[in-house]
Amino acid sequence: MALILDSKNIRTYSRSEAVVFAKTKEKFGGLSNMASGYPLYVNQVTILTTEALYQACRYPHAPLLQQKIIEQVSPMSAKEVSREFDHESRQDWIKIRHQVMRWCLRIKLAQNFDSFGQLLLSTKELPIVELSYKDEFWGARPLINNPNELRGQNNLGRLLMELRELLKNTDEERLKYVTSIKIPNFTLLGSDIDVITNQMNIEKSESIQSKLF
């Protein structure tokens, strides 16, 4: 499914004046949807990464495909499984994907409040930018004639900055409670997605995470 860029939303960032992340093992790699160590728990299902949850949301009409995506140990494998069926994404995916990503990030914070919250706050007031050589919708690409400048819509970085401001200005208990998105057929494995809290099945999450090591 092709990404559609809106020229009005393209931004340019100075790499030296921003928090830039690309690889998960880097200092700010935990900001990536690919980062391990931030498990999510939705409808009594443990999901290892934000990427896997986001990709699964493409296919509410295909619970078996959702299951295959979220059972992948590697977030890249989850993305690749999703990419194989990209043409079968829900018809309104382009319209709602930004809303879904915001919801996924809210869950990541709610259920990993201390670790992810501290990482967000450590970025201070700097712009947050996902460095990407391929995706100018969620990230920003270095300019050929000036690699210190990154240009793109950087929607993921901007959602993270939005979440950072919410973290600074919202009561902690409210941030640990995430309501479902009001869109049609928003389901996981055949069930409507419930309100999300920070109460996770820790034993189950740790058991599944152990497969990563």
**Chain segment 186-196, per-residue pLDDT in tens:** 999 999 998 99
- The pTM for the full model equals 0.90
Rounded to the nearest integer, the mean pLDDT of the chain is: 91
- Angle subtended by helix axes 93-111 and 113-121, to nearest 10: 110
**Chain segment 7-25, per-residue pLDDT in tens:** 678 999 999 999 999 999 9
Query: Within a domain: residue 205?
Result: no
**Could you tell me the strand order of the sheet in which 141-143 lies?**
11-14, 146-152, 141-143
Buried b (16+ CB within 10 A) or exposed e, 98-125: eebbebbbbbbbbbbeeebbebbeebee
Q: 140 forms bridges with which residues in the sheet?
A: 131
Query: Within a domain: residue 188?
Result: yes
Domain count for the chain:
1
Query: Within a domain: residue 210?
Result: no
Cβ neighbour number for residue 189 with a 10 Å cutoff: 16
Query: Within a domain: residue 211?
Result: no
- Angle subtended by helix axes 155-169 and 93-111, to nearest 10: 40
Query: Within a domain: residue 42?
Result: yes
Structure confidence at residue 9 (pLDDT): 87
Cβ neighbour number for residue 204 with a 10 Å cutoff: 14
User: In which domain, by residue range, is 122 found?
Assistant: 7-200
Query: Within a domain: residue 38?
Result: yes
Average pLDDT over residues 92-119: 98
**Chain segment 166-181, per-residue pLDDT in tens:** 999 999 999 999 999 9
Q: CATH number of the domain that 41 lies in? A: 1.10.357.40
Query: Within a domain: residue 69?
Result: yes
Query: Within a domain: residue 150?
Result: yes
Average pLDDT over residues 84-89: 97
